[in-house]
Amino acid sequence: MLDRVTGLQVFSRVAVLGSLSGAARALNMSQTMATKHMAALEDHLGIKLLHRTTRQMTLTEAGRSYLEAAERILADLEEADAAAAQAAVEVRGTLRLNVPVSFGILEVAPRLPALSRLHPALKVDLGLNDRQVNLLEEGWDLVIRIGALQESSLIARKLAPCRTLVCAAPDYLARQGTPKTIAELTDHACLGYTLSPAVGLNSWLFGPDRKQRVSVSGPLVANNGDALVAAAVAGQGIVYQPAFLVAREIAAGTLVALDLDHAPIEFDGIFAVYPSDRRPPAKVRAAIDFFADQFSPATCSWTA
């Protein structure tokens, strides 16, 4: 008998297109060969799968029953081929990766050596940028974004939650007192982040629904969280930033997380975002899986 898989493919295309000539064109073979595959399949089964007329071909009752099984077999084969190909494809080439500045310096760059050890043929072109880049126009393979995502044709996978904390240096709290409620923040030096309305210049939001708003002011505002954290460590005031930015300082005792009467907000998350290709390249899939593992609660303290 001829190749049974090809026979199933011919049968499936005939069922859709209604003719052997159409199936042959779809499968890039001659009509003679398509006819031979169809005849061999029917001879093997000992049944007729098609009613043949001068104008078209239609399924017999047995053909309708067999078509469901044939399509399931072809789908399983295609899935198995894709899985095998993915396992066999070496992760290589240049990955153009864009991430926010502070997150990139603190959390991404230190992990890239491990990614290189895992995939030696992969080179990373790392872009650090706090603006929202355009993946397609600027040629990025993958970006990491923090917070709410805009509606788009891009695909996003959540890598980690993004909690926030309100912190101050022990020296500042010794001099100015420790606030116990969000209302008391009004009387303190609060260092504002200009790129976020939630923890910004004149007001900070609290609570799971972000409905608790308190007016704040202070001697410093900045468009970079690292600068604000450094100022807070030096005792200039209270800072309200993501946990990944202050976790090291809290662990070292140079900052203290405040326990207030309303919980700090949580941003929507930290996401890997990539173009909506039907099947992203191996380098993109490998990077996403790597960072998802790196930022899981089991391996990353600030996500727990």
- Domain ranges in the chain are 4-88, 91-304
Q: Which CATH class is domain 91-304?
A: alpha beta
Mean pLDDT in residue range 54-74: 83
Return the structure tokens found at 144: 């990491």
Of all residues in the chain, the percent with pLDDT exceeding 90 is: 50
71 Cβ neighbours under 8 A, 6+ residues apart: 12
Give the chain's mean pLDDT: 89
pTM over 0.85: no
CA distance 150 to 131: 14
pLDDT in tens, 270-299: 999 998 765 678 899 999 999 999 999 888
Confidence band of 153 (pLDDT split at 50, 70, 90): confident
- Name the least confident of 106-110, 134-138, 253-257: 134-138
Judge whether residue 1 has pLDDT over 60: no
Label residue 82 by pLDDT band (50, 70, 90): low
Return the amino acid letter for 144.
I
Give yes or no for a contact between 111 and 123, defined as CB atoms under 8 angstroms apart: no
Tokens of 226: 């690292």
Q: Span 166-181, mean pLDDT?
A: 97
Q: How far apart are CA 251 and CA 234, in angstroms?
A: 16
pLDDT at 15: 84
Mean pLDDT of 48-71: 84
Where b means 16+ CB within 10 Å and e means fewer, 131-162 reads eebebeeeebbbbbbbeeeeeeebeeeebbbb
Q: Which residue has the higher pLDDT, 260 or 41?
A: 260
What's the Cα-to-Cα distance from 136 to each of 127, 155, 276, 291, rounded to whole Å? 15, 12, 10, 22
CATH number of 4-88: 1.10.10.10
Mean predicted confidence (pLDDT) in 157-185? 96
Percent of the chain scoring above 70 in pLDDT: 93
pLDDT value for 179: 97
